[in-house]
């Protein structure tokens, strides 16, 4: 069970392959199951694959309202048009709103349209890090990605998410590698490491491992909802 603070808007960014959309969806489900009124806003209008809005029906069956592009779920219709309804949860103080931004600084730029809702101190802005992706496999690459998004959006990150994985081949060693990497990154960037994402099949193993002695933040079990199992089969 994830605990949230008093900031009801959460923006989540991360490079392609970081797992940011899976993180957003799993967090939304966790909160909704706690009885928290939750909305997911899909502002990733750049990436044509693995988008929150593709799971609208599934998420709404869980009590989560999804907002996104004007054309809803059509994967072949890549027209970057946002519905005016996107503002609805941002203006509703009773809703915890999770915003899934684009994967790089250009994709995250769309957040500027809604900057009036992002008053410093009233929102969280988290950067999802997967050390196993080439763009964020080094400190230099991760720092450049971090600052690139801040510069393009005009928003400051407030924390990091360690989501180092290899999909269904992820091991505890991957999580440990990502944890050590993100702790170093946290010290350099002066923002806290707030979450570690853990594939659900490793969750109990992680909780009983010695690695827990080094973890002083929240762990979110990740179910692979966006990625169908057939995509992981070796040819």
Mean of the per-residue pLDDT values of the chain: 88
Tokens of 143: 């720092």
Residue with more model confidence, 133 or 44: 133
Question: Are 142 and 136 within 8 A, CB to CB?
Answer: yes
Nearest CA among 142, 218, 155, 135 for reference residue 184: 142
Phi-psi region of 188 (alpha: psi -120 to 50; beta: other; left: phi over 0): alpha
Range among 101-105, 117-121, 150-154, 187-191 with highest mean pLDDT value: 187-191
Domains of the chain and any CATH numbers: 9-229 (3.40.50.300)
- pLDDT tens profile 16-45: 889 999 999 999 999 999 999 999 999 876
Residues 64, 55, 62, CA angle at the centre, nearest 5°? 30
- pLDDT tens profile 119-131: 989 999 999 999 9
- pLDDT tens profile 39-96: 999 987 665 555 676 788 999 999 999 998 645 544 434 445 566 788 999 999 999 9
Tokens of 178: 């990502």
Residue with more model confidence, 118 or 74: 118
Instruction: Find the mean pLDDT for residues 155-178.
Output: 97
Helix axes 172-189, 139-153, angle to 10 degrees: 60
- pLDDT tens profile 190-229: 999 999 999 999 999 999 999 999 999 999 999 999 866 4
Residue 233 has pLDDT above 70, yes or no: no
């Amino acid at each position: 069970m994830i605990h949230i603070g008093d900031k009801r808007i959460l923006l989540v960014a991360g490079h392609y392959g970081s797992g940011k959309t899976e993180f957003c969806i799993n967090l939304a489900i966790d909160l909704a199951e706690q009885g928290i009124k939750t909305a997911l806003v899909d502002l990733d209008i750049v990436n044509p694959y693995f988008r929150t809005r593709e799971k609208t029906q599934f998420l709404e069956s869980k009590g989560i309202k999804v907002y996104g592009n004007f054309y809803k779920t059509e994967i072949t219709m890549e027209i970057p048009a946002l519905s005016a309804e996107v503002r609805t949860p941002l203006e509703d103080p009773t809703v915890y709103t999770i915003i899934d931004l684009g994967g790089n600084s250009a994709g995250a730029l769309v957040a500027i349209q809604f900057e009036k809702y992002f008053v410093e101190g009233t929102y969280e802005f988290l950067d999802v890090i997967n050390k196993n992706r080439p763009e964020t496999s080094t400190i230099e690459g991760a720092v450049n990605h971090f600052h690139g998004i801040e510069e393009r959006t005009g928003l400051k990150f407030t924390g990091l998410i360690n989501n180092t994985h290899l999909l269904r081949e992820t091991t505890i060693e991957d999580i440990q590698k990502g944890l050590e990497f993100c702790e170093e990154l946290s010290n350099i960037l002066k923002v806290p490491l707030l979450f570690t994402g853990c594939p659900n099949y490793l969750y109990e193993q992680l909780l009983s491992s010695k690695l827990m002695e080094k973890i002083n933040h929240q762990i979110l079990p990740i179910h692979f909802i966006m990625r169908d199992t057939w995509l992981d089969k070796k040819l």
